[in-house]
Amino acid sequence: MHLLIPELTLISGAIFCLMLDILFVHKKPYAQKFITYLAAGFIVCAIFFLFKNYNIDSSKIILNGFLRINNFTTFIKIIFLVLLLFLLLSSYFQIKILQKNYSEFLFLLMISTAGAMFLISSINLLSFYVSLEMQTIPLYIMAALDRKNDKSSEAGLKYFILGVSASCLMLFGISMVYGFSGQTALHQIFADKISIGVLFGLLLILISLFFKISAAPFHMWSPDVYEGSNITATSFFASISKLSFLIIFSFYFIPATIIWNGMEKIIYFISILSLLIGAFGAIKQKNLKRLLAYSSIGHVGFMLAALSTKNIVAIHSFYFYAITYSFLSIAAFSFLMIIDKEHKYTISHLSGLAKTNPILAFLLSALMLSFAGIPPMLGFFSKFYILKAVIMGANNQNFTLPIIMITYSAIAAFYYLRIIKVIYFDEANKKNKIALDNKGGIVVFSILSFLSIISIVFIEKLLIVLNNSVIL
Partner 1 sequence: MSSFPIISSSIFLPLLGAIFSFFYKEKTQNAVNKIFYFGIFISLLNLLISIYGVIIFDIENPSFQFKELINISQTLSINYFVGVDGLSLLMILLTNILIPICFTLSARKITNHVNSYVAAFLMLQSFIIAAFSSLNLVLFYIFFEAILIPMFVIIGIWGGKDRIYSSIKFFLYTLGGSLFFLIAIIYIIISYGSANIIELRYLLPMVDVEIQKWLWLGFFLSFAVKIPIPPFHTWLPSAHVQAPTAGSVMLAAILIKLGAYGFLRLSLPILPDASAYFATFMSWLGVIAIIYASLIAYVQQDIKKMIAYSSVAHMGFVIIGIFSMNVQGLDGAIFQLFSHGIISAALFICIGIIYERTGSRELNIYSGVAHRMPKYALLMMIFTMGSVGLPGTSGFVGEFLAILGSFKYHKIIASCAAIGVVLGAIYMLHLYRNVLFGDVKSEKINSLIDLNKKELFTLGFLAFLVILLGIFPNLILNYTANVSKVILISIN
Binding residues vs partner 1 (CB under 8 A): 316, 354, 358, 362, 369, 374-376, 380-381, 384-385, 387-388, 391-392, 396, 399, 402-403, 406-407, 409-410, 413-414, 417-418, 420-421, 424-425, 456, 459-460, 463, 467
Q: Which is nearer to partner 1, 127 or 317 (CB)?
A: 317
d(CA 439, CA 428): 23
Q: Which is nearer to partner 1, 259 or 392 (CB)?
A: 392
Q: Least Å distance between CB 120 and partner 1?
A: 24
Q: Least Å distance between CB 310 and partner 1?
A: 15
Rg of the chain, C-alpha, whole Å: 21
Q: Least Å distance between CB 425 and partner 1?
A: 5
Q: Which is nearer to partner 1, 57 or 460 (CB)?
A: 460
DSSP per-residue letters across 80-98: HHHHHHHHHHHTTTHHHHH
d(CA 468, CA 256): 24
Q: Least Å distance between CB 218 and partner 1?
A: 28
Which element (helix H / strand E) includes 69?
A: strand 67-69
Task: For residue 84, count CB atoms less than 10 angstroms from its CB and return exposed for 0-12, middle for 13-18, buried for 19 or more.
Answer: buried
Q: Which is nearer to partner 1, 61 or 463 (CB)?
A: 463
d(CA 351, CA 336): 14
Q: Least Å distance between CB 410 and partner 1?
A: 4
d(CA 29, CA 32): 5
AA identity, residue 80: F
d(CA 340, CA 349): 10
Omega of the bond leading into 223 within 30 degrees of 0 (cis): no
Q: Least Å distance between CB 407 and partner 1?
A: 8
In degrees and rounded to multiples of 5, residue 429 shows phi and psi of -85, 100
Residue 124, beta-bridge partner list: 185
- Report how far Cα 86 is from the mean position of its chain's Cα atoms: 14
> Which bin fits 387, alpha (ψ -120 to 50), beta or left (φ > 0)?
alpha
Q: Which is nearer to partner 1, 190 or 381 (CB)?
A: 381
Q: Which is nearer to partner 1, 359 or 471 (CB)?
A: 359
Q: Which is nearer to partner 1, 252 or 424 (CB)?
A: 424
Q: Which is nearer to partner 1, 5 or 374 (CB)?
A: 374
d(CA 215, CA 293): 11
Q: Least Å distance between CB 413 and partner 1?
A: 6
Q: How crowded is the C-beta side of 159, counted as CA atoms within 13 Å? A: 30
Q: Least Å distance between CB 92 and partner 1?
A: 27
